Structure 1
Amino acid sequence: MTIAACAAAAISALALPAVVTTASAAAATTAPAEASVVPTVLTATIIVDSPVGSPVGSTVAGTVTASGPNPIVSYQFDFGNGTKVTQSTPDFEVTYVATQTYNIGVLVTDSTGNTFKAVSNSFDVTVPNSLTRLAGDSRYGTSTAVSQRFWASAVGDTTTRRTAHAVVLASGENAHYPDALAGGPLAAYKQGPLLLTETAQLTDTTRQEIHRVLPPGGTVYVLGGEAAISAKAAATLAGDGYTVVRYGGQTRYQTALTIAEQGLDNPNHVVLVTGKDFPDALAAGPAATGLLASDGKPAAILLSDGDTVEDRDTAAYVVAKMNGFGQTTFIVPNVSAIGWSASVAGMKLAGVDPRVIATKQPPTGPNTNLGVYDDVEHDPHNLRSLNVVAGSDRYTTAQAAAAYDRGDNFCCIGNDPFVGYASGATFADALTGGAAMATIHGRLFLTEPTSVPAADTDVVNNLFGAKTHTAFIFGGTAAVSQHVENQLSALLQAPIVK
């Protein structure tokens, strides 16, 4: 049974007037007051100057003109790109990094507590294509570089980067990657960067970055047991004044389940991926925060043991979500599987007849397999169903997850211009980069270290078209070579921006 489809509308870049003036209906229709008359009602108008392009974005400046019987004490801006700022002055400046149509809102407050909300007219920002590499001298340095690109300093930051409300900390060591796999949606949900540390001790660069983005008293969420991140590392954080919350179980499966139940507050939707390898889980992170999110919560990433779910608690949790789907207008079942082995495990939990499962074949070649699997033909009373997103390998699976989340064939993700690329051969850079993409509603693709796989070429040719986009490479040239960077720059028609 195939999921119903609908096309997502693209937003075209339009020419901009020199000045866009906006106000509430009341402010717009009221004649200017005489200079000698004290206004009796608080009103406000937003004046937006035309955006001016730059190599890495488009800067928009403007001001708020407010009038009322009392002095104005604060302006709370919402710039329409996820950035919110409260200040005492009416002038503003914001740099956008996505070609899109925006509105700016402001809540004006006077000295007696009266408020007035003004919203600008829509205006269009056109940002030049760009490709930027975010990398450090190690995987820990790369996680810091990614954080510095997207997250503001806790004190004295005048940029429009996002304000971190927490930090998610995972082990960067290869032996402990499973505990980190469910961390991407958690970082997006808790609104903070995902950083990596050594197991035995808190890595110095990571510690410095936590201090930069999060003031003392903030919360650091630690993923995995003490075998993944030691008690010593956690104690260092506590000694620095942070609240440390550890989400860890006796196994990788229990850790993922704990993150779902406690960290993500038991969301409606679940993504099942194999816990025996990392690529499918990395591709699942951004998808979990897009179409698969609901009620303000990303989908939780849970782990199968290859083509079965051996952990009883995980199996029970997934089945409960399947049973809870019932009659709903939501287009996607409560449980999705990304990658073929997890899809088979999910079919088993959905109660699909083993004889039917035996006839199912994984995708081959460049084609992907997207659809809903159930077994109502053999058991009309079985209402469990499973959404399957899978490709023939890690690269086409990542492509399938990104294309699915984008909404070309499904309802209804808007114009998300952010794309990220990371090596599919190692987990660390894709983990931290994927968490960033999840936060800004971008899409993550996996690439071979020395060449761009056909799946990535195909997605550009068939999905992106001529759309403007801001692209990132996560990791140094040892992870993603300079040759690949040059290939992606040409493929995306995006100049390399250092």
Structure 2
Amino acid sequence: MKRVKKFVGFTVAALLTSTLFTTPALATSETPFKSLEDFKKQKQVPNAQEVKLLGYNEWGEFEEEEPNNTIAQANQITTEDYAIGKFTKDDKDYYKIEINGDEEVDLSVSLFSMDEDDTNMQLNVNVYDSTGKEMDSYYEDSDEYGYGGGFYLDPGVYYFEASDLANLNNGETYMLSPLVLDDEPFIDRIAGEDRYHTAAAIAVRRSGGYPSDHVILATGADFPDALAGAPLAFYYDAPILLTRKNALPQITKSTIDVLDAKSVTILGGTGAISKDVENALVKSGLDVERISGSDRYETATAIAEVLPPSDGAVVAYGRNFPDALSIAPIAASNMMPILLTEKSKLPESTKQAVNDYDFTYVVGGEGVVGQKVFSQLPDPERISGKNRYSTSVAIAEHFELEPTFVNIATGADFADALAGAAYTYGEPLLLTPSDYLSAEAKDYFVKNETFYFTIFGGKAAVSENVEDEILELFE
């Protein structure tokens, strides 16, 4: 891999899937909900129990109900929904939406395939008013990944007609979603009652409602063994879940069940995650491997050895977490390992490992990775700021990441950013103090007109005041 100057991210469709469309946490209540909004208000998080929701599956997706082949048979959805369906021969699927209020809205409609083999599909959406008159889009943005259309619509009833013009009759799954655009930013929060629940919620959101064969398991008590885990998660296409040292939290176990995982990779030795946890996973029928070393530096090196060959590597300070986590999505997406170092001495395991790479990115200033270490690395390039918050912004700017979609986590603790690093591939992961938005992040958002924000963690980790300050940027 050549030295990365600009990250080439996912397709627009994939970005929309991962960022815009909310997959609410699963609920444990056995009482049917009246609406998806009621479902979203639940504060509980995933377990293996099914949720019986009128029209919705346990992932919070609206599932197409046939017959819906005419306007009269249209399925009712809202702007909070995304609908999942399949096309059969000569199929046209209709969805009904009601826009309330007293002002015109700007509505964007997206339709794209959820399956890998979608290159021959010709997805199309038409919008009709209550009389059956077709509405004109003010733009069309169609490519091999899907369709997006924008409409200025007055309050009233409208219908979406979704179809595959290629008429492949291949049963591939599609997603349709309406989204009302306005002048306020879109702020999403993925959170649970603690770090274990938050990691579970991130994992479920990341899955998009599909199984995940593999799971990465890290300790929720400390960061060292987990710092290098994001590239491995990307390589295995796996979420990162957290555990206590001596017992697997019920929420983690339930999420593994929900994701229908077949294998688990444990990061770190038995001092971080005990043999009892490993044995419990094996007993439940999972294939379990452990990647570890005698210390955090050897563990990071051992993870690097599992990854496919790369020309470059990341080197970060091993005694703290912020810098390694800020660059984790970039390292992961480009399959670069994250190796760890002391400030003034390159550990022997890291010294040997860097010989396999042509260049290195050094994250953080000389206060965490000294010049003596820097000079021993192959073709090193330093990315840093005056503190952990400005360093996270410096990383986003250095790699010219798309600034429209941004993820935020507290810089005061590692757990939420760690789980989020396996979710944010190709998007900035910015750190902020818990109680206010960092000045560096504010400047970045204003300069780049950032509009879509995902916060990892509850309000104790990233307070409501951070949300308020984001909103104030748009006043």
Q: Per the shorter chain, which TM-score range?
A: 0.5 to 0.7
The reply to whether residue 481 of structure 1 matches residue 463 of structure 2 is yes
The reply to whether residue 167 of structure 1 matches residue 215 of structure 2 is yes
Q: How far has the Cα of 1:285 moved from its partner? A: 0.5
Q: How far has the Cα of 1:472 moved from its partner? A: 1.2
Q: Are 1:171 and 1:228, in contact at CA under 8 Å, matched by a contact in 2? A: yes
- Measured at CA, do residues 445 and 64 of structure 1 come closer, stay the same or move farther in structure 2, by a change above 3 Å? same
For residue 193 of structure 2, what is the aligned residue in structure 1? 137
For residue 236 of structure 1, what is the aligned residue in structure 2? 280
For residue 247 of structure 1, what is the aligned residue in structure 2? 291
- Measured at CA, do residues 452 and 390 of structure 1 come closer, stay the same or move farther in structure 2, by a change above 3 Å? same
Q: Are 1:195 and 1:432, in contact at CA under 8 Å, matched by a contact in 2? A: yes
Q: How far has the Cα of 1:192 moved from its partner? A: 1.5
* 1:281-328 per-position Cα deviation (integer Å, ceiling 9, x unaligned): 1101112134xx1xxxx110000112431x21211221331xxx3xxx
Q: 2:391 aligns with which of 372, 394, 397?
A: 397
Name the Cα RMSD after superposition: 4.3
Q: 2:330 aligns with which of 284, 287, 312?
A: 287
The reply to whether residue 437 of structure 1 matches residue 462 of structure 2 is no
TM-score, with normalisation over the residues of structure 1?
Answer: 0.62
* 1:112-167 per-position Cα deviation (integer Å, ceiling 9, x unaligned): xxx99x9x9xx999774421111111111111111122214xxxxxxxx4542310
Q: Which runs of 5+ in 1 are unaligned?
A: 14-51, 68-78, 153-160, 326-333, 351-383, 408-414, 494-498
For residue 438 of structure 2, what is the aligned residue in structure 1? 453
Q: 1:299 aligns with which of 328, 331, 336?
A: 336
For residue 106 of structure 2, what is the aligned residue in structure 1? none
Q: Are 2:6 and 2:400, in contact at CA under 8 Å, matched by a contact in 1? A: no
CA distance in 2, matches of 1:197, 1:7: 32
* 1:18-61 per-position Cα deviation (integer Å, ceiling 9, x unaligned): xxxxxxxxxxxxxxxxxxxxxxxxxxxxxxxxxx9965577697
Q: 1:269 aligns with which of 289, 307, 312?
A: 312
TM-score, with normalisation over the residues of structure 2?
Answer: 0.64
When the two structures are aligned, how many residues end up with a matched partner? Answer: 353
For residue 385 of structure 1, what is the aligned residue in structure 2? 379
Q: Are 2:6 and 2:399, in contact at CA under 8 Å, matched by a contact in 1? A: no
Q: How far has the Cα of 1:267 moved from its partner? A: 3.0
For residue 348 of structure 1, what is the aligned residue in structure 2? 375
| Corresponding residue SS for 2:454 | strand
* 1:227-263 per-position Cα deviation (integer Å, ceiling 9, x unaligned): 011000011111111111101000000000000102x
CA distance in 2, matches of 1:306, 1:235: 37
Q: 2:234 aligns with which of 188, 207, 217?
A: 188
CA distance in 1, matches of 2:414, 2:352: 28
Counterpart amino acid of 1:434? A
Alignment of 1:190-209 (within 5 A): 190-209=236-255
CA distance in 2, matches of 1:449, 1:196: 21
- Measured at CA, do residues 225 and 102 of structure 1 come closer, stay the same or move farther in structure 2, by a change above 3 Å? farther
| Corresponding residue SS for 1:211 | helix
Q: 1:308 aligns with which of 324, 329, 345?
A: 345
Counterpart amino acid of 2:228? A
CA distance in 1, matches of 2:112, 2:387: 34
- Measured at CA, do residues 199 and 487 of structure 1 come closer, stay the same or move farther in structure 2, by a change above 3 Å? same
- Measured at CA, do residues 102 and 233 of structure 1 come closer, stay the same or move farther in structure 2, by a change above 3 Å? farther
Q: Are 1:80 and 1:102, in contact at CA under 8 Å, matched by a contact in 2? A: no
For residue 300 of structure 2, what is the aligned residue in structure 1? 256
Q: How far has the Cα of 1:203 moved from its partner? A: 1.0
Task: State percent identity of aligned pairs.
Answer: 29
- Measured at CA, do residues 211 and 447 of structure 1 come closer, stay the same or move farther in structure 2, by a change above 3 Å? same
Counterpart amino acid of 1:284? I
| Corresponding residue SS for 1:452 | coil
| Corresponding residue SS for 2:375 | helix
Q: Are 1:102 and 1:124, in contact at CA under 8 Å, matched by a contact in 2? A: no
